Chains A and B, each alone.
Chain A
Amino acid sequence: MSINWFKYSSPQTFFPLAGRLALGFGVLALLACCVGLYLGFFVAPTDAQQGEAYRIIFIHVPAAWMSMFLYVVMVFWAGLGLAFNTRLSGMMASAIAPTGALFTFIALWTGSFWGKPTWGTWWVWDARLTSELILLFLYFGFMALQAAIDDPRRADKAGALLALVGVVNVPIIYFSVKWWNTLHQGASVSLTKAPSMAATMLGAMLIMTFGFWFYGIAAVLLRARCIMLERERTSDWAGQYAGGAA
């Protein structure tokens, strides 16, 4: 039995599949987010120390995880595109970047909402906060570079190289900021959560993570479909879909 591994590596065959997958993952994301938010906001008990303010973690933590995870996925596609010179990989990488930046932004924004009542400040130059901010800048740099290059093939390759350089730098940034932080501020607020977490809290957070993950997949595939149509607009199959939609 032989499997054609490359069947879906061409935009023409991937386009309908992406549409079906996006729909499925979109529905799953909606379900998971509804269940997760209900569990998080109505079922999970109030935290003894932080009161109701802790409930932001049901959005904050999954968004922060996704922001980092999506960068790695973006680098994976970008690297694949650079190594095998496939068109679709570059399209996937550039489709992931805006969603990743969105999650990074949500993580920062909800983090400061959480920080104000708990720490008494919107922002501290903590290691995690600073590296998350720099991650946002890396996403912006990737998108700005791709937007500035007219030729899509060059844009894909240049973005891929930048993403790869960025991913080498991310751990260095994280540790440098951590050391800098510990060198400067003596006793700062620790971000480590209480080790014992109620099972409902953990469950709601995990369900929200899956909800965000599925949302990420659906949004990326939808955006990839747009990119495919835009780049392949001269081909027959794209004209067929574009014509059908209009």
Chain B
Amino acid sequence: MIAALRCVIVRDLRLAARRSSDVLTVVLFFVIVVSLFPLGIGPEPKLLRTVAPGVLWVAALLASMLALGRVFAADHADGTLEQMMLGATPLGLVVAAKVFAHWLISGLPLVLISPVLALQFDLSQELLGVLALSLALGTPILSLIGAIGAALTLGLRGAGTLLSLLVLPLYVPVLVIGAGAAEAAASGLGGHAQLLLLGAMLIFAGAFAPWAAAAALRISVE
């Protein structure tokens, strides 16, 4: 079973490596959206420092949502998904592996690049770590919740906009607590409470979301 899951992860990573422009588009989107905010709201450092965690979080959320369409779409189009459903490995585990691979491709790069972008917002150095850590804990939750939405909208017309309508309200707690971590650290309270909550949500989502997404896939493909 472990071998099957490793196989799924390696396959998805290899596919992403062959189409590396897809990965880069998400990261570039993230960078560009974040860079638009100082242009829009003005370059005053004090203001930028205040909004930095929220801006980075919202941009990361939008970027990871843009990438969601690709979790199952290609496999659905060429019939691989149906083979995975028929296979001996429980579908929930396969979905978990796919979501993990998807996070490695579309979430992890955002986490890694976020400190650089936060420097543009003149965020102090202690906060960079908290912000990156909150994104590292939060973006997998986004991928997990998003996988349910992606599975539900599989093969529908206008799936992209529909997906955002379904998934964005469900992202609210992650956004609130994730962006709150760096803000609490900035105000001297320390972001431990928020980071612990994010960790709890990650465990909760990791335990249940793959099964919900698997059920959604069965509904969509039947």
A161 partner, pick from B148, B159, B189, beta carbons under 8 A? B148
Judge whether A144 and B172 touch: CB under 8 Å.
no
Determine the chain B residues whose CB is within 8 A of the CB of A140 once the complex forms.
Answer: 165
Whether the Cβ atoms of A158 and B216 lie closer than 8 Å is yes
- Count of inter-chain pairs, beta carbons less than 8 A: 77
Indicate if B23 sits at the interface (CB-CB under 8 A): no
The interface residues of chain B, by DSSP majority, are classed as helix
A144 proximity list for chain B (CB < 8 A): 162, 165-166
Majority secondary structure of chain A interface residues (helix, strand, loop or mixed): helix
A67 to B159 Cα, complex, angstroms: 27
The one of B157, B180, B220 in contact with A158, judged by C-beta atoms closer than 8 angstroms, is B220
Partner of A141, one of B158, B169, B183, B212: B169
Compute how far the CA of A165 lies from the CA of B173 in the bound complex, rounded to whole angstroms.
14
In the complex, which residue of chain A has the Cβ closest to the Cβ of B175?
Answer: A176
Interface residues of B in 112-138 (CB under 8 A from A): none
Q: With an 8 A cutoff between CB atoms, is B143 at the interface?
A: no
With A169-B170, A177-B176 already in contact, the answer to whether A158 and B165 are too (CB < 8 A) is no
**Other-chain residue from B172, B189, B219 in contact with A176 (beta carbon distance below 8 A):** B172
Q: How far is the CA of A165 from the CA of B144 in the complex (A)?
A: 12
Q: Which residues of B contact A184 (CB under 8 A)?
A: 183
Number of interface residues of A (CB under 8 A): 28
For the complex of A and B, list the 3 residue pairs with the smallest distance between their C-beta atoms, beginning with the closest.
A176-B173, A137-B169, A180-B176
> A residues near B, CB below 8 A?
134, 137-138, 140-141, 144-145, 148-149, 154, 157-158, 161-162, 164-166, 168-169, 172-173, 175-177, 179-180, 183-184
CA distance A161 to B168 in the complex (A): 16
Chain A residues closer than 8 Å to B189, beta-carbon distance: 183
B162 and A138 contacting across the interface, CB-CB below 8 Å: no
The answer to the question of B153 belonging to the interface, with a C-beta cut-off of 8 Å to chain A, is yes
Kindly state the separation between the CA atoms of A137 and B149 in the bound complex, as whole angstroms. 14
- Are B156's CB and A176's CB within 8 A? no
Supplied contacts A148-B157, A176-B172, 7 more A-B pairs, CB within 8 Å? A138-B169, A158-B219, A161-B212, A176-B176, A177-B176, A180-B180, A184-B183
Residues of B within 8 A of A (CB): 145, 148, 152-153, 156-159, 162, 165-166, 168-170, 172-173, 176-177, 180, 183-184, 189, 201, 208, 212, 215-216, 219-220, 222
Q: Which residues of A contact B173 (CB under 8 A)?
A: 169, 172-173, 175-177
| Docked complex Cα distance between A91 and B215 (Å) | 20
**CB–CB A165/B212 < 8 A:** yes
Q: Write the chain A residue with the least CB distance to B149.
A: A162
Whether A145 and B215, one on each chain, are in contact in the complex, defined by CB atoms closer than 8 angstroms, is: no
* B176–A165 touching, CB < 8 Å: no
User: Which residues of B lie under 8 Å from residue A169 when comparing CB positions?
Assistant: 169-170, 173
Min C-beta distance of B207 to chain A, whole Å = 12
Look across to chain A and name the residue whose beta carbon is closest to the beta carbon of B221: A154
Residues of chain A within 8 A (CB-CB) of B183 are 183-184
